[in-house]
């Protein structure tokens, strides 16, 4: 049985304070204690630790009549730089952030979907990091860590891409390959874990503590948080909503099974639906996925009837598949993210909302919100930067006298101390 | 945001100690501290509280050479009696337990599936409790509480059956109706919450802390635990796996949607499948669901080819639907319970295990166990008895000087202090 030890609580409390600072902006110790529900003594200890690690600085000192001067604390953005990287099937996208997770520089490049050599992918990652660093005018020695999201099944503790079906990768030591070249700690995880972390820190996480964020791109999946904790599952493989059934024995999915949600809602699935509606439609001539989806958005804006039919059918598939997610988990919030969502949400969401009541159980419908994520920028890159910040704070804690060494969870072989299991 | 307060921790610790006593049997304070990971001081405080409340007694005193005498503690079964009641679409089943949740007496009666008057159902519940009490030779004044599981959407805080589709009930105050007649506290919940509590206390919960238990009867659903916490969802409606899709636009489900898992795996769904295989099959003449399922089991034992086909198709549906559950949650354990499972598991499980690898993602398959639940007796009644025991302990804690009054959760209106959210 997993147990909450004093160490876990300490890390959790640390992240609670950090989280509160992101939500509240510059705050007094009292405000942090009130917002987090932690005791003033705990907040004082953590603030002292953060101040000595240079993570916080004093933004202002307020002198109220009669009382002691109150220090207003804030994250020191200049304590370091973090790079968040979103590696997808068709592109690499990197952002340089300051320590307060403000974006400073950005880089991106297309990946050839048909090239699966790990060296090719690693080379692409390094080049895009380089261009983001240049774009931000970042001094390299100030980078404290790099967080990289990789598609497929990733083991964050070992930094291994266990299985990436799009490249047919098995057990590729991606973190090791990157750390050979980059002189800073590298953290690897899966986009579903990254987007839910973003949502918890910078999206609906400020109002709910259970939620799903659905990532729509080449593949589709859901990041899930329950009662304020990211759901990882036994092997960090939770959230594979894209590989739940829409239709037993339906369309062939690239996972090998038939009828998965992804075969209908992933970008190639949209193409299949359009081909069913009109096999001669000119948009089908776009061979690259992102060009195809952009052309669909353009055609929808122009009122193309076949594409309007595509949007209607896709909204219905999405409503059905989100209905399953809500019926199973009874969560109060689902947000949409990913590049397909960015391009098509304005066409999909209104019809989706009309369809949802036909798929969600009546008892789970009141109060349910379904909306595009309001997390700014690339939610995957931001989530990986947030992971990297957590790791940095955990390492800071290790250096402090009260800290103890994190050790791997004996149950599952995943070192949860590296993963911010609970924020 | 939900916050863990000292009060929550206190309740959790209390349940941890109780849980350890169920797992370990008579134990010393040191053994309890080692097993739970709680500090010796915390265990000592809780044991003192339990001893003064009469929940524990000293089973033995061991005198080791040189050391202090060690008290071996155990739950005092005779501190009181608890009744657990499983109300289903077609029957009521009640068990009287001692405080250590040993079964003392049992009663059951059929319910007319076509009669939906709340007074008829309440009368059935009272009669079956009466016969269980008589069967166990129980003195009525020793009963400390009654836990009743009701089908459909239940609000445990208000004791209201919010919606029961089988009876077309809306907002029936079932707890109030029962408490008018029964002179003890009554707790109402949903069978999915009851079966997962049973599984956590008396099933695979001793080896894993995330799991699902799938309940197969007239309706089907899943009780879910994540990291040792029962998943309730925002409105206590989580676990409606029976109303996730097997096939978009497939069979009509009684929930109004088409293609839900329940339309294939609920007892009426089995009948539909058999009618598709052989519309003239004699087993279809059994008009009552339980008679039908028993006749299927008998026919399978006799090697009936149509029924063998039914079992094969049902196993495949079950594998597909469990695959979705595992792909989404990446849990290491699924157990099967409910009267359909009791009757048919030996025919379904071997084929189910063969089919599962076709439906579960490779990364979620290693270490996954799928097996009939080993929880003894009626898991729903036992789970409701466990809830009632938790409530009893919570009330004991209230009487102690250190206890504080539980208050409703301002987020959702569900008083989590009554629900054993975390065990």
Look up tokens 């529900």; give the residue.
Answer: A37
The CATH number assigned to the domain with range B78-194+378-418 reads 3.30.420.40
**Is B161 in CB contact (< 8 Å) with chain A?**
no
Label residue A13 by pLDDT band (50, 70, 90). Answer: confident
The residue of chain B nearest to residue A12, with distances taken between CA atoms, is: B4
Residues A69/A63, Cβ–Cβ less than 8 Å: yes
The residue of chain B nearest to residue A236, with distances taken between CA atoms, is: B330
Whole-number Å distance between alpha carbons of A372 and A383:
17
Segment A86-135, tens digit of pLDDT: 999 889 999 999 999 999 999 999 998 889 999 999 999 999 999 999 99
Segment A142-160, tens digit of pLDDT: 999 999 999 999 999 999 9
CATH architecture, domain defined by B207-372: 2-Layer Sandwich (3.30)
**Which of A408-417, B5-14, B178-187 tops mean pLDDT?**
B178-187
**Is B47 in CB contact (< 8 Å) with chain A?**
no
Reading the block at residue A262, the tokens are 């992804």
> Which runs of consecutive H residues, i.e. helices, occur in A81-212?
118-135, 174-181, 191-202
Provide the pLDDT for residue A104: 97
- Is B191 a residue whose pLDDT tops 60? yes
Say if the Cβ atoms of A239 and B364 lie within 8 Å. no
Say if the Cβ atoms of A1 and B209 lie within 8 Å. yes
H/E stretch holding B215 reads: strand B211-216
Say if the Cβ atoms of B229 and A231 lie within 8 Å. no
- In A77-116, which positions are buried (b, 16+ CB within 10 angstroms) versus exposed (e)? eebbbbbbbbbbbbbbbbbbbbbbbebbbbbeeebebeee
Segment A326-379, tens digit of pLDDT: 999 999 999 999 999 999 999 999 999 999 999 999 999 999 999 999 999 999
Provide the pLDDT for residue A68: 78
Label residue A63 by pLDDT band (50, 70, 90). Answer: confident
CATH architecture, domain defined by A78-194+378-390: 2-Layer Sandwich (3.30)
Segment B287-302, tens digit of pLDDT: 999 999 999 999 999 9
Whole-number Å distance between alpha carbons of B343 and B335:
15
Q: Select the residue from A9, A19, A248 to test the B interface by mutation, using most B Cβ atoms within 10 A.
A: A248
Whole-number Å distance between alpha carbons of B212 and B221:
10
The packing angle between helices A40-52 and A6-24, to 10°, is 80
Segment A158-171, tens digit of pLDDT: 999 999 988 999 99
Provide the pLDDT for residue B421: 31
- Is B401 a residue whose pLDDT tops 50? no
- Ranges assigned E (strand) in B289-353: 333-337
Whole-number Å distance between alpha carbons of A303 and A295:
12
Provide the pLDDT for residue B397: 64
Provide the pLDDT for residue A69: 84
Q: What average pLDDT does this structure show over B162-179?
A: 93
Quote the percentage of chain A above a pLDDT of 70.
91
Nearest to B363 among A5, A235, A358 (CB): A235
Nearest to A229 among B227, B259, B327 (CB): B227
Nearest to B243 among A209, A361, A411 (CB): A361
The CATH number assigned to the domain with range A204-372 reads 3.30.420.40
- Is A389 a residue whose pLDDT tops 70? yes
- Is A252 a residue whose pLDDT tops 70? yes
**Which of A116-120, B18-22, B398-402 tops mean pLDDT?**
A116-120
Give yes or no on whether B78-194+378-418 and B207-372 have one common fold.
Answer: yes
Quote the percentage of chain A above a pLDDT of 90.
80
The packing angle between helices B29-36 and B6-24, to 10°, is 110
Nearest to A332 among B228, B234, B250 (CB): B234
Q: What average pLDDT does this structure show over A20-32?
A: 92
Percent of residues in chain B assigned helix, strand, coil, to nearest 5: 45, 20, 35
- Is B243 a residue whose pLDDT tops 90? yes
Q: What average pLDDT does this structure show over B195-218?
A: 95
Q: Report ipTM for this prediction.
A: 0.89
The residue of chain A nearest to residue B241, with distances taken between CA atoms, is: A328
- Where do the structural domains in chain B lie, given as residue ranges? 6-75, 78-194+378-418, 207-372
Whole-number Å distance between alpha carbons of A28 and A58:
10
Residues in chain A: 423
Q: Select the residue from A234, A247, A331 to test the B interface by mutation, using most B Cβ atoms within 10 A.
A: A234
Residues of A within 8 A of B255 (CB-CB) are 361
H/E stretch holding B192 reads: helix B191-202
pTM listed for this prediction: 0.90
What residues have CB less than 8 Å from A154, skipping those under 6 apart? A160, A161, A162, A188, A189, A190, A236
What residues have CB less than 8 Å from A256, skipping those under 6 apart? none
Provide the pLDDT for residue A409: 33
Segment B107-132, tens digit of pLDDT: 999 999 889 999 999 999 999 999 99
Provide the pLDDT for residue B347: 96
Q: What average pLDDT does this structure show over A243-252?
A: 97
* Cβ atoms within 10 Å of B287's Cβ, excluding its own: 9
Provide the pLDDT for residue A420: 31
In the predicted model, what is the mean pLDDT of chain A?
Answer: 89
Chain-centroid distance, C-alpha A374: 13
Label residue B400 by pLDDT band (50, 70, 90). Answer: very low
- Is A380 a residue whose pLDDT tops 90? yes
Nearest to A237 among B243, B321, B330 (CB): B330
**Is B251 in CB contact (< 8 Å) with chain A?**
no
Provide the pLDDT for residue B96: 98
Reading the block at residue A180, the tokens are 């050979």
Sign of dihedral through CA atoms A40, A41, A44, A50?
negative
Provide the pLDDT for residue B240: 97
**Is B162 in CB contact (< 8 Å) with chain A?**
yes
The CATH class of A6-75 is: mainly alpha
Residues of B within 8 A of A227 (CB-CB) are 2, 229
Q: Select the residue from B42, B234, B246 to test the A interface by mutation, using most A Cβ atoms within 10 A.
A: B234
Residue B113 Cα, gap to closest chain A Cα (Å) = 22
Segment A32-61, tens digit of pLDDT: 999 988 999 999 999 998 999 899 999 999
Label residue B93 by pLDDT band (50, 70, 90). Answer: very high
Provide the pLDDT for residue B14: 82
Whole-number Å distance between alpha carbons of B407 and B10:
15
The answer for A 382-401 residues in CB contact with B (under 8 A) is none
- Is A413 a residue whose pLDDT tops 60? no
Whole-number Å distance between alpha carbons of A178 and A184:
9
The residue of chain B nearest to residue A326, with distances taken between CA atoms, is: B238
Q: How far is CA A132 from CA A109, A375, B320, in A?
A: 11, 20, 44
Nearest to A226 among B231, B250, B362 (CB): B231
């Amino acid at each position: 049985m997993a147990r909450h030890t004093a160490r876990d609580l300490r890390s959790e409390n640390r992240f609670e304070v950090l989280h509160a600072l992101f939500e509240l902006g510059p705050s007094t110790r009292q405000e942090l204690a009130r917002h987090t529900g932690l005791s003033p003594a705990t907040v004082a200890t953590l603030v002292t630790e953060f101040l000595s690690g240079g993570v916080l600085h004093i933004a202002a000192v307020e002198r109220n009549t009669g009382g002691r001067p109150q220090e207003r604390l804030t994250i020191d953005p200049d304590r370091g730089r973090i790079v968040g990287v979103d590696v997808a099937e068709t592109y690499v996208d990197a952002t340089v952030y300051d320590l307060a997770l403000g974006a400073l520089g950005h880089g991106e490049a297309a990946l050839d979907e048909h090239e699966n050599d790990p060296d090719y992918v690693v080379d692409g990652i390094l080049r895009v990091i380089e261009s983001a660093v240049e774009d931000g005018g970042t001094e390299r020695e100030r980078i404290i860590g790099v967080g990289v999201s990789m598609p497929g099944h990733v083991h964050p503790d070992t930094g291994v891409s266990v299985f990436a079906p799009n490249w047919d990768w098995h057990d590729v030591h991606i973190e090791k390959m990157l750390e050979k070249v980059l002189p800073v700690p590298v953290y690897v995880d899966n986009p579903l874990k990254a987007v839910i972390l973003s949502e918890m820190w910078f999206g609906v996480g400020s109002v709910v503590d259970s939620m799903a964020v659905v990532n729509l791109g080449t593949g589709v999946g859901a990041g899930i948080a329950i009662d304020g904790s990211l759901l990882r599952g036994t092997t960090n493989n939770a959230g594979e909503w894209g590989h739940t059934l829409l239709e037993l024995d339906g369309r062939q999915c690239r996972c090998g099974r038939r009828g998965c949600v992804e075969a209908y809602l992933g970008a190639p699935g949209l193409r299949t639906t359009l081909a069913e509606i009109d096999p001669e439609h000119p948009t089908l001539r776009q061979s690259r996925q992102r060009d195809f989806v952009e052309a669909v958005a353009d055609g929808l804006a122009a009122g193309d009837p076949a594409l309007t039919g595509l949007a209607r059918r896709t909204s219905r598939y999405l409503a059905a598949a989100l209905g399953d997610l809500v019926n199973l988990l009874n969560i109060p919030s689902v947000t949409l993210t990913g590049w397909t969502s960015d391009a098509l949400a304005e066409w999909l969401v209104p019809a989706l909302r009309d369809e949802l009541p036909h798929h969600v159980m009546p008892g789970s419908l009141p109060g349910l919100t379904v909306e595009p994520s309001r997390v700014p920028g690339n939610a995957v890159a931001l989530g990986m930067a947030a992971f990297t910040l957590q790791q940095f704070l955990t390492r800071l804690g290790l250096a402090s006298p009260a800290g103890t060494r994190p050790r791997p969870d004996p149950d599952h072989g995943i070192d949860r101390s590296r993963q911010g299991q609970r924020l």
